[in-house]
Each structure stands twice: as structure tokens, then as C-alpha cells.
Structure 1
Amino acid sequence: MFFSKKSNQRLPKLLILCILVSGLVIAPSVVEDNLHWFNKPVLEVSANAQTQAGVQEAQPKQSNQDKNSEEEKSSKSEGEKPGKLDIFKMITGALAGLVLFLYGVTRMAEGLEAIAGDRAKELISKFTTNRYAGVATGAVATTILDSSSVTIIIVIAMVSAELLSSVQSLGVVLGSNIGTTIGAQIVAFKINEYAPIAMFAGFLLIFLGKTERWKQIGLIVLGIGLLFFGLDTIEKAMEPFEEYQPFIKWMETLGDNTLLGAGVGALFTILVQSSSATVAIIVTLASQGLISLPAGIALMLGAEVGTCADTLVATIGRDRPAIRTGVFHLIFNLVCAAVGVVFAAQLATLAKWLSTMLGAGDDIARQIANAQIIFNILGVVLVIGFLPLIARGLEKLIPDKQKGDRQAEALAK
């Protein structure tokens, strides 16, 4: 999606929104801690007057320790019961993390687009001499812009302006699917603890930067910090689900029914308008042990389909060549996702093997991130040789308008 230059005017409102939502997360925990302090049980010490002096001194200490351990065990067992979950705190925490994450992605994308947007267009136009160069260019541009949707929307605009041919645009679309996997790999390395440092550094660059370029760099750094801080907030909010049986059974259902998991992933991606956001959240929850590898792969496959929503919207009102680019993105992702659903077990095996080769071992988060890379690279390898045939097929499916139709449209305008 495109981010308007006027969005900086919404910065104070969005910051206030983040503060308010974060306050909803902090307030319940503060109140709960205070109530716990007031309701703290008084330890009862019983002493037998007829016991010896040494035993009389040791007995209260031992009884206190036993009672403390019993209270801790009982509190943990109560917290593990389904009815004892603080649903309000968990929902507000997850929403706060999601807001911070999406806001961070937006800020980072705006900074990247301001610094590298024009360069990305030049990169795409200069280095898409053939389909293979188009794949490489799409991967690099998506890595720079951190959004496959932005890359494809730029390509659609360039196709409309006749700056790219159909085959060149299809190659860039394929490359964008590879570039979008970089973010999941970064999230899988668990660098959330450094998020406050990035936020503070970005804040300083924005307010102390002497040039507009430094301010935009600060915006990028701040966005990265908010992104990972939001993921960390989501992770902490979801901690009670670690031993919550209904949630565990639901994740098992998504893992066993790959098609259902893909549907959930696609729906969530359409809602947040970012497959990178969906996969990042999946990887974060997997690092916490809340999502298994089969369930993560199913959700990831759905995210690959859900990301097509933005590009389809971007084709509205465009010429036929631009529409063909958007339709190709949808068909390619749908077909690949369908194949991925059928061979989900084999994909999981390959992801485990690659993770073992890279020294990740049983890290589910890394396995899901590696599964996404394998899935997208295999899809590109299998399709890239047929791009000329696919381009001709799309031209027959969505032919160019005849001269009479163009004249009629011109008169209508």
C-alpha cells in the first residue's frame, strides 16, 4: 500500500493511540498487583508450648516455607485453569502489540519510501532486462522497501506507464515473494530485547537530525524499534496460552487441517494488510512454543494468499497490462499455496532439515521462517521458465482493449 506524505500530520494522534492502548495493558497488571498486595495472606505460626526451645524456633520457619510453596503451587494451578485466564488483559495486550507493530511497519515503510522509493523505481526499470534479472530486482526492491505489496504496486504503476513489459513485471512479482521472507528470518533471531535501544536512537535522530535525510533515517530506526517492541508485547500477552488446553487444541487442529489454517492466515493477512506482519507474529508465537511447525506452515501459506488483496485493489481503474500483473500475482500465490497445502508434510520435513543444517536444531520459529524461504524459492524456480507462455496466456485471458472501446471511454470522460 502507498503511504501518503501527509501521514506525518497524523503522527501525534497515532502516538496518543499507542500510549492509550499501552496504558490499557499496564493498568490491569498494576491493579492486579495492588490487589494481590492487599489480599496477601497472613502466615500463621503455631507453636506448641510444650516443645523444646530449639524445635520451637525451627518449626515456624519450616511451616512458613511449606505454606509459601503450597500457595505458589496453588496459584499456578489456578492460573492454568481455563476459567482463570485474564482475557481482558490478554486481549488488550495483544491489541497493543499489534498496534505498535503495524505502526512501526508504517513508520519504517514511510522512511524507506522517502529515502529509497525513487531509487527502487530506478532499480526496477534499469535491471529488469530479462525475467531472471526481474526476479533478482524484485527480491532486492522488496528487501529495501520491506513490503512485497509496495513493490508490486510500484510495478503495476510502471506497467500502466509502459515502463515495463508484461514478462518483466511478472519476474519482479516472483522476486518480491522471495524478498518478503527476509523479515521473517530477522524476527526468528529474537532480537526483541534491543527494541528500546532502536526506539530511543530513532527518537533522537528525528528530533535532533539537522537534515531531512537524517530525520527519515530516524523514522526508519524508530519504526524498527516499534516493530520489535510490538512483537515482544504480543509475546508477553500470549504467555498464559502456553498451557491453556483449548488454545493448544485449536493450534493442533490448524496443524492437522492445513486448509483451515491457510484460511485463517489469509483472513488475518487481509485484516492487517501485510503478509510480513502475519508471518512475523506467527514466528514470534512459535518461538514461545504456542504454534507448532505444521500450524505455522498452514498459517504462512494463507498469508501468501491474503497479501494479494492489496495488489488487486491497486489494479482497479488501471489498464489491461497492469490488471494482468495483479491477476498473475493472485493466481501464482493461489496455485503455490494449494500445492503447499497438499505437500505441507514434505515442506515441514525440508524446513527441519535446513534448520538442522544451519545449526538451528529444534527452533520452531527458525523452521517456520525457513519453510517460507523454501516455499517461495521453489515456487519461483518452477514457474520462471514458463513466464513467456504465462504472459501470452494472460494476454488471451485479459486482452487489450480495442480502439473502438478506447474511443468510447475517451468520449465518456
Structure 2
Amino acid sequence: MDIFMILKLLGGLALFLYGMKLMGDGLQALASGKMTQILERLTNKTIYGVLLGAGVTAVIQSSSATTVMVVSLVNSGVMSLRQAVGVIMGANIGTTITSWMLSMVGIESDAVLIKMLKPTSFAPILAMIGVVLYMKAKENAKRTNIAHLLIGFSVLIFGMDAMSASMEPLAHSPYFENMLVAVSNPFFGILVGMVFTAIIQSSSASVGILQALSLTGVVSCGAALPIILGQNIGTCSTALLSSVGASKNARRASMIHLYFNVVGVTVFTLAFYGLNMIFNFEFLTAAVGPVTIAVIHSIFNVGSTMLIYPFSKHLVNLAEYTVPDDRVSTGYSSLHKI
């Protein structure tokens, strides 16, 4: 891999992250005001919160943005912790929509209609429409936001395409193969996914980059799985940072997000790799593509929500215990509730 391929990779990564940011900003500007009102009114029951969190995140394409919004509402006293826990769980489900959208990049077919489903086929058209809208928008904020959405999506797809093209030579690199073998170790793979996602502050972008890498055909299921698990922990950094200096309840909301993902990853890791020691899953050595990564991402997020949902009140109690009130007696009472 020469210097030009590295520059192309970095350029593609820059376009991908910028496109993700521009698209997210456009979506949030179009919907955030209404979404905040809906979040305030429709979270009395935890199950409604889960559905609402999934829906809001699917619309604004960012679980981090949804969680930060929840932390803000809790900080202002508009939403309680018990209302917040459902929305936080639902946000993890809603974020899988992005991976399914990006998985269409991997569609391979000679049929014209199928080819048109590939984002790389219609992204140039969306970019052109977005630019025209932006030029005609003038003072119209709604048109400007729609233009940002269309241009952002197109730039994101161009960046993903550039990344996958620049990484093709890696398929024949022994160093890259050794690196993939290393991240197949669940603990190291989880650490890599966690740190990288914390750095770029977006699990959707992190999963998308992994999907672009999988287009080279050398990413195995065993390498992708722990990275995806780590990405779910790394995305908690955004909410944790947003709660710095906020109220105790806001900090508790961010801790609920962290505990939810850590518990889900821990249970899934122990169960899956424990079963692998018994049955020796052969599919772990098989190469995965963007669709398989979207499937793994969805199974984990939906599965962990179903698993932890019945214990949602215990997440609240744990957060109240680890971020206690100033009173001395609170520690004992919170621990007793857990």
C-alpha cells in the first residue's frame, strides 16, 4: 500500500465523516424541535420510550444525538430517569437503520433496477438535487436543511466508495491479515472498536467504516463481531461528555447508557464465546460483507434490549447508587434498591 493509497483512504474517511455529520445536522435541524416535544410527552411507559427512542434515532440517524437530547431533557427536569431509560434502550435499536442503509453498497447484480438500489448509483443524482436546492434556498431554512441532508448522504457514499477502493490492496497484505487475526481475539477486538468509536464520536460512522473495509473481502466474522461489540461501548463517550457539569440526574442518565451497553456486551461475549468453545463455530472464519455486518449489529442491539428491558428499573437504581445524592444515607438506600 503506497502513499497515494493512504492519502485516498484518509480522503475517503474525511468525506465519509463529513457526510455523516452534514446529513445528521440536516436531519436534526428538520426534526429536532418536534422530536424534543414528542420525547417530553410520550415516555410515561418504558415500552413507549423504547419505541420512541428507536423511531427518533431512525429519523435523525444518530443514537448519540438522541442520548444527548435525553441527557439534556433530564438535566432540565422535563424527563425523569425512569422515562429516559426506555428511550436510551430504543436509541440502540434505531441506530441499526444506518448500517442497513449503508449495506446496500454491497449489492451486486446485472439487473438495472437492482443496480439503481445501490447508493453509489443514485448518490450523484441526490447530490445534484441538493446543490440546486442549496443555491435556490436563500433564506429558506427548511430547503437549506434538506439540501444538507441530500448533499451529506451523497458525500458519505462517495467517501465510503473511496475508502473501499483504497483498501483493496490490503486484501493481499500479510500485515493486514495478521492485524485481522489479532482483532479476532474478543478482548482486543472489543478494545479496538471501543477506542475508535470513542475517537470519532459515532457508532454509525464506525460501523460504516467497518462495512467499507468488509468490501475488500478479507474481514472475517470473527474479526467483525468483537469490533461491533466494542463500538456499542465506545459510543457512550458522547453522552458521558455531554453530562459533564450537568445535574446529578443528567449524569445518571449517561451512566444508564454506559451500563446498558456494558452489560449487553458482557453477557453476549460470555454467552457467544462460551458456546464457541463447545461447538467451535466454523462461520467465524468466513468473510463477511456489509449486509452481514448490519445483521450482526441488529441482532446484538435488538437482543440486548430484549434481554435487559425487564431489568430497566435496576439500571436506574444502579445509576442512582454510583452517582449518589449528597446525603450520607443515600448510598445505603440505593444499594438496597439494587
Normalising by structure 1, we get a TM-score of 0.71
Going from structure 1 to structure 2, the CA distance change for 1:368 and 1:224 (only over 3 Å counts) comes to same
Question: Separation in 1 of the partners of 2:327 and 2:103?
Answer: 51
Question: Separation in 2 of the partners of 1:344 and 1:97?
Answer: 34
Partner residue, 1:253: 182
Name the aligned partner's letter for residue 210 of structure 2: I
Post-superposition CA distance 1:3-61 (Å, at most 9, x none): xxxxxxxxxxxxxxxxxxxxxxxxxxxxxxxxxxxxxxxxxxxxxxxxxxxxxxxxxxx
Q: Does 1:125 align with 2:50?
A: no
Name the aligned partner's letter for residue 267 of structure 1: V
- Give 1:401 deviation, angstroms: 3.7
Instruction: Report % sequence identity.
Output: 31
Asked if 1 retains the 8 angstrom alpha-carbon contact of 2:221 and 2:288, the reply is no
Match 1:400 to one of 318, 325, 337: 325
Asked if 2 retains the 8 angstrom alpha-carbon contact of 1:138 and 1:174, the reply is yes
Post-superposition CA distance 1:305-345 (Å, at most 9, x none): 11111111111111111111111111221222222333445
- Give 1:390 deviation, angstroms: 2.6
Partner residue, 1:220: 149
Asked if 2 retains the 8 angstrom alpha-carbon contact of 1:352 and 1:367, the reply is no
- Unmatched 5+ stretches in structure 1: 1-84, 354-360, 404-413
Partner residue, 2:60: 145
Name the aligned partner's letter for residue 223 of structure 1: G
- Give 1:196 deviation, angstroms: 2.1
SS of the residue corresponding to residue 43 of structure 2 reads coil
SS of the residue corresponding to residue 189 of structure 1 reads helix
Match 2:260 to one of 332, 336, 349: 332
- Give 1:209 deviation, angstroms: 3.1
Q: Does 1:101 align with 2:29?
A: no
Partner residue, 2:203: 275
Higher Cα Rg: structure 1 or 2?
A: 1
Partner residue, 2:114: none
Partner residue, 2:90: 175
Asked if 2 retains the 8 angstrom alpha-carbon contact of 1:192 and 1:229, the reply is no
Post-superposition CA distance 1:71-104 (Å, at most 9, x none): xxxxxxxxxxxxxx31x11211111011111111
Segment drifting more, 156-165 vs 393-402: 393-402
Going from structure 1 to structure 2, the CA distance change for 1:363 and 1:399 (only over 3 Å counts) comes to closer
Asked if 2 retains the 8 angstrom alpha-carbon contact of 1:269 and 1:303, the reply is yes
Partner residue, 1:45: none
- Give 1:397 deviation, angstroms: 3.0
Asked if 2 retains the 8 angstrom alpha-carbon contact of 1:308 and 1:329, the reply is yes
- Give 1:362 deviation, angstroms: 8.0
Asked if 2 retains the 8 angstrom alpha-carbon contact of 1:294 and 1:344, the reply is no
Q: Size of the alignment, in residue pairs?
A: 308
- Matches for 1:295-374 after TM superposition, within 5 Å: 295-344=223-272, 364-374=289-299
Asked if 1 retains the 8 angstrom alpha-carbon contact of 2:212 and 2:290, the reply is yes
SS of the residue corresponding to residue 289 of structure 1 reads coil
SS of the residue corresponding to residue 229 of structure 1 reads helix
- Give 1:370 deviation, angstroms: 0.6
Name the aligned partner's letter for residue 174 of structure 2: Q
Partner residue, 2:127: 199
Asked if 1 retains the 8 angstrom alpha-carbon contact of 2:221 and 2:287, the reply is no
- Kindly report the root-mean-square deviation, in angstroms, between the aligned alpha carbons of the 2 structures: 2.3
Q: Does 1:229 align with 2:144?
A: no
Q: Which has the higher contact order (CA 8 A, sep 6+)?
A: 2
Name the aligned partner's letter for residue 161 of structure 2: D
Match 1:243 to one of 172, 191, 195: 172
- Give 1:252 deviation, angstroms: 2.3
Question: Separation in 1 of the partners of 2:263 and 2:234?
Answer: 13
Asked if 2 retains the 8 angstrom alpha-carbon contact of 1:149 and 1:310, the reply is yes
Question: Separation in 2 of the partners of 1:99 and 1:185?
Answer: 21
- Give 1:261 deviation, angstroms: 0.9
Going from structure 1 to structure 2, the CA distance change for 1:269 and 1:390 (only over 3 Å counts) comes to closer
Name the aligned partner's letter for residue 392 of structure 1: N
Partner residue, 1:11: none
Q: Does 1:161 align with 2:161?
A: no
- Give 1:402 deviation, angstroms: 5.0
Asked if 2 retains the 8 angstrom alpha-carbon contact of 1:315 and 1:323, the reply is yes
Question: Separation in 1 of the partners of 2:23 and 2:221?
Answer: 29
Question: Separation in 1 of the partners of 2:175 and 2:59?
Answer: 40
Partner residue, 1:388: 313
Segment drifting more, 283-292 vs 391-400: 391-400
Question: Separation in 2 of the partners of 1:401 and 1:116?
Answer: 38
Question: Separation in 1 of the partners of 2:129 and 2:102?
Answer: 20
Asked if 2 retains the 8 angstrom alpha-carbon contact of 1:259 and 1:341, the reply is no
Partner residue, 2:115: none
